[in-house]
């Protein structure tokens, strides 16, 4: 395995979704030289698949207090109210910054309504009491990613390293106690097969989600929990990883993989239905929540899971046939097109749907500025746990958090830049060494463990949990982790091995977090503890590596 010399930058950002690219832009525009590491092409990330939009108070009939209350209610007593207030209040300014960079969001005029010029078409999604979701048709994430990529390419201070997969953070442990400052990251250049050492004054984890820990997910293949796993191995605190959001409605079709039917479809009046004994489609959400099909995602996902188990059916259905084909094509052009590929016309046919892993509300513990407890290490986006989402993310709050916290983290870094420069002068970075590792002749170990982890996480640590299921999962992951760690030190690193190691680490953190919470709250439902424990309000689950 070839090793490169140390590459030095002011700041390193790992990940190229909205949180990572926004962070890079703010750091570069403040005068820093930035390296952005992305494990594939720059646009392969969760952001590109975000259909719904950005939840933001832009309508005169909406208020910050209403958005805050909706977020706190969805978060089930685990949100940090000061963080919620700060992020929501900063939303309009952050959105206007995206618009000034060239982002285009759908207006009511484009939807065929007679309104004032450039008045935004604000959608409503599950858990929201008002229409406040700014969108670009049903490809909002793709639109935001487009303008951020363009801005990064046009900024000479930003250096983009495609096909570079981060292995581990570089922590200076010569300070005598606990994890010392983070001074960079080791990364594998996938094309050149070289391990490179990147050194920076700060390192920002913006690696996105952990969807590939589960068998069924809406996430792209790159979402392997890298930020959480690397943060944990470095000694950072990891918070609330038991709260895994399962999106209620992924298109159920064997030909089309992991395609999400946006919550905005329910926001526009789609009704969830299942087949009764007579074979007729009937609504069922009124049995589970007063908001019916607009209930928060955790309620909807559990309701769908319950109905599927009760009926033995392989899916439920989203019925939005109340709207004309013209309106649906205009509002949901991408979803309409995908459904047609599956032989479904949304205007005349109910859409078959099933739940799948979608979003992790936990992550590397940070404050509202993305600051972790390791000097020089920041985390933003889905890799972080700021306290905004609590036990259940309110729909479309994730893009809002990503753009706001990215800006706040950049400001925080430059307030502390003198301290980071002092730390850099007093720390050293050693190059990567592969020791006695050799090329592997047992790739089957990687593929087998990859499949086994994802299957038992789906079966035992999914929407519906029990102590027995969690304990089974813990027994399996403990053995697999030991096997993977031995394999990791015996054989040279490959992209598959790096991702398997991260998936296994993240899976164990999820299991340990779920076992430690002796109640049901938000996205975490354990039938052995079916009730919420009020004494656990505002109490985070913290997992931290012992050295």
Measure Cα distances from 148 to 51, 145, 508 in Å.
17, 5, 34
CA dist 482 and 52 (Å) reads 40
DSSP assignment string, 112-136: T---STT-B--B--TT-SS--EE-S
Residue 205: closest CA among 227, 236, 223, 229: 227
Helix (H) or strand (E) holding 142: helix 140-153
CA dist 167 and 179 (Å) reads 17
User: Taking the CB of residue 182, how many other CB atoms lie within 10 A of it?
Assistant: 30
Helix (H) or strand (E) holding 301: helix 297-311
Edge to edge, what strands does the sheet with 158-162 contain? 158-162, 34-38, 11-14, 202-205, 377-379
User: Can you tell me which residue has the tokens 């997969």?
Assistant: 165
**Radius of gyration of the CA atoms of the chain, in A:** 23
Six-digit token string for 13: 């950002």
> What SS3 class is residue 207?
coil
Which residue stretches of 225-276 are H helix? 226-234, 263-267
User: Can you tell me which residue has the tokens 């969760």?
Assistant: 46
Residue 199: closest CA among 212, 189, 213, 185: 185
297 is catalytic: yes
CA dist 16 and 207 (Å) reads 8
CA dist 407 and 204 (Å) reads 12
454-469: burial string, b at 16+ Cβ within 10 Å, e else:
bebbbebbbbebeeeb
CA dist 269 and 125 (Å) reads 10
Catalytic residue among 85, 157, 297, 476: 297
Residues with a catalytic annotation lie at 297
């Amino acid at each position: 395995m070839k090793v490169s010399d140390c590459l030095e930058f002011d700041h390193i950002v790992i990940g190229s979704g909205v949180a990572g690219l926004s962070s890079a832009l703010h750091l570069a525009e403040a005068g820093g030289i930035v390296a952005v590491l992305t494990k594939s092409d720059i646009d392969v990330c969760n952001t590109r698949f975000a259909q719904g939009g950005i939840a933001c108070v832009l309508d005169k009939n909406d208020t910050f207090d209403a958005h805050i209350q909706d977020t706190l209610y969805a978060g089930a007593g685990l949100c940090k109210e000061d963080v919620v207030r700060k992020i929501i209040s900063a939303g309009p300014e952050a959105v206007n910054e995206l618009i000034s960079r060239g982002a285009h969001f759908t207006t009511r005029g484009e939807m065929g309504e007679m309104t004032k010029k450039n008045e935004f078409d604000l959608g409503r999604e599950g858990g929201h009491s008002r229409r406040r979701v700014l969108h670009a048709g049903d490809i909002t994430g793709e639109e935001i990613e487009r303008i951020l990529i363009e801005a990064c390419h046009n900024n000479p201070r930003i250096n983009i390293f495609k096909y570079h997969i981060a292995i581990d953070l570089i922590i200076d442990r010569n300070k005598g106690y606990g994890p010392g400052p983070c001074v960079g990251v080791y990364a594998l250049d996938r094309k050149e097969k070289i391990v490179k050492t990147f050194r920076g004054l700060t390192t920002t984890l913006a690696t996105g989600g952990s969807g590939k820990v589960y068998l069924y997910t809406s996430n792209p293949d790159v979402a392997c929990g890298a930020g959480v796993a690397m943060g944990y191995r470095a000694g950072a605190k990891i918070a609330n990883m038991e709260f895994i959001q399962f999106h209620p409605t992924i298109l159920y079709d064997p030909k089309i993989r992991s395609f999400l039917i946006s919550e905005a479809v329910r926001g526009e009046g789609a009704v969830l239905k299942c087949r009764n004994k007579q074979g007729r489609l009937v609504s069922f959400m009124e049995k589970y929540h007063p908001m019916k099909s607009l209930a928060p995602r955790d309620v909807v996902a559990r309701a769908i899971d319950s109905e599927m188990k009760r009926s033995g059916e392989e899916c439920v259905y989203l019925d939005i046939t109340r709207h004309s084909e013209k309106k649906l094509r205009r509002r949901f052009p991408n979803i309409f097109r995908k459904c047609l590929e599956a032989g479904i016309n949304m205007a005349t046919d109910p859409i078959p749907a099933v739940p799948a892993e979608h979003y992790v509300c936990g992550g590397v513990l940070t404050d509202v500025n993305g600051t972790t407890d390791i000097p020089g290490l920041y985390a933003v986006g889905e890799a972080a746990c700021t306290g905004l989402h609590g036990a259940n993310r309110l729909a479309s709050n994730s893009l809002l958090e990503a753009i706001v916290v990215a800006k706040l983290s950049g400001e925080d870094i430059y307030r502390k830049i003198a301290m980071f420069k002092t730390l850099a002068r007093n720390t050293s970075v050693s190059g990567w060494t592969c020791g006695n590792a050799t090329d592997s002749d047992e790739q089957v170990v990687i593929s087998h463990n990859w499949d086994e982890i994802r299957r038992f996480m789906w079966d035992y640590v999914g929407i519906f949990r029990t102590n027995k299921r969690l304990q089974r999962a813990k027994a399996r992951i403990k053995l697999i982790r030991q096997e993977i760690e031995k394999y990791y030190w015996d054989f040279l690193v490959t992209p598959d091995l790096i991702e398997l190691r991260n998936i296994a680490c993240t899976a164990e953190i999820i299991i340990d977090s779920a076992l430690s919470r002796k109640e049901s709250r938000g996205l975490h439902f354990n039938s052995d503890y079916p009730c919420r424990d009020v004494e656990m309000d505002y109490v985070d689950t913290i997992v931290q590596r012992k050295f």
